[in-house]
Structure formats: structure tokens, C-alpha cells
């Protein structure tokens, strides 16, 4: 007896087979493009070796002008990832405690990070995570939320 469940199973099997075929085609095309790219690069190196690297200077100039043509607006919108820096979180915790004692008022995450950067040259790639790791050593610090804004106080 042919029912809906059987029809769905057949359709599913057909779709899975199509997916497998597409993946094989993609892998084959990717391998072919890779070999073509390698051959072209080898030929370019051969030509550079014959011409005494004269062509490579032209290529460098072309690359430099292409980089200059990138719109300034686009580069402003691109986020650049900060490099990971190891911090002594116990030491940073002491700095945070000192800052909170001096201020005598709750400090926002932004204010706290700005002061840490200004006074102690501590710059976190992710301020929230850096401060949270430091606060593990400071159970007396109170964290309050005002909407999306975090404030810290003693």
C-alpha cells in the first residue's frame, strides 16, 4: 500500500542523492580551479625569473593602487579584530577595586574600561569578558543593570 509516509521517504531519498551529486560536482570543480591557479602561479614565477623581476614591481604597484581605491566608508564599517592579549586578572581586579574606591559612585562598563586603559594601559579585546574574568576575584563588587547598561560599585 502506497501512502504519504512512503512518498515522503522517497522524496527525501531523492533530495539526499541530489545533495551528494552537487557536493561531488563542487569538490571536482574546486580541485580543477585549484590546479589551474597553481599552474598560473608557476608560470608567473617562471616569467618573473626570466625577466629579472621587472614584472613583479608593476604587479606591486597595481596592487597598491587597487588598495587605494577601496572606499573609505567601507573601511570604516569593517570591524578589525583586536589581538588577544593575556592579562593578569588578579592584578586587573586590584586596579578595578582601586578605581571603584576612588570614584565612590557606580561606574559603567565603558567608563571602567576607559579608566583602565588610560591609567593602567589595560585594553581588553572584549571589555565585558575581560571585566567579568577580573570580577571573579572581587566578590564585593555589585553589578547592576540599567537597561542594557552595566554599572559596577563596591
- The number of folded domains in the chain is 2
Q: Per the confidence metrics, is the pTM higher than 0.85?
A: no
Task: Note the pLDDT tens digit of each residue in 50-103.
Answer: 876 555 555 555 554 554 555 666 556 666 666 667 888 888 888 888 888 888
Which pLDDT score is estimated for 104? 82
Say yes or no: 97 and 148 in one domain: yes
**128: pLDDT strictly greater than 70:** yes
In a domain, 131, yes or no: yes
- Strand 107-108 relative to strand 142-146: parallel, antiparallel, unpaired? unpaired
Task: Determine, yes or no, domain membership for 83.
Answer: no
The CA distance from 28 to 23, in Å, is 9
Domain membership of residue 11 (yes or no) is yes
Tell me if 77 is assigned to some domain: no
**144: pLDDT strictly greater than 70:** yes
Query: Within a domain: residue 80?
Result: no
CB 89 within 8 A of CB 133: yes
pLDDT at 18 over 90: yes
Same domain flag for 96 and 146: yes
Domain CATH code at residue 149: 1.10.10.10
Q: Is 24 helix (H, G, I), strand (E, B) or coil?
A: helix
* Integer CA distances (angstroms), 63 to 35, 37, 69, 91, in order: 23, 18, 10, 45
Q: Which domain holds residue 32?
A: 1-51
Amino acid at each position: 500500500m502506497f501512502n504519504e509516509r512512503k512518498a515522503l521517504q522517497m522524496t527525501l531519498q531523492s533530495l539526499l542523492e541530489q545533495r551528494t551529486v552537487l557536493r561531488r560536482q563542487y569538490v571536482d570543480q574546486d580541485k580543477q580551479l585549484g590546479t589551474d591557479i597553481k599552474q598560473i602561479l608557476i608560470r608567473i614565477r617562471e616569467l618573473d625569473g626570466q625577466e629579472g623581476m621587472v614584472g613583479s614591481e608593476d604587479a606591486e604597484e597595481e596592487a597598491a593602487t587597487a588598495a587605494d581605491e577601496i572606499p573609505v566608508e567601507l573601511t570604516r564599517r569593517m570591524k578589525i579584530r583586536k589581538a588577544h592579549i593575556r592579562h593578569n586578572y588578579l592584578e586587573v581586579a586590584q586596579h578595578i577595586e582601586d578605581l571603584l574606591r576612588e570614584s565612590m559612585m557606580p561606574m559603567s562598563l565603558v567608563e571602567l574600561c576607559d579608566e583602565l586603559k588610560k591609567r593602567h594601559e589595560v585594553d581588553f579585546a572584549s571589555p565585558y569578558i575581560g571585566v567579568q574574568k577580573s570580577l571573579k576575584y572581587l566578590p564585593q563588587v555589585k553589578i547592576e543593570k540599567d537597561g542594557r547598561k552595566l554599572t559596577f560599585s563596591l
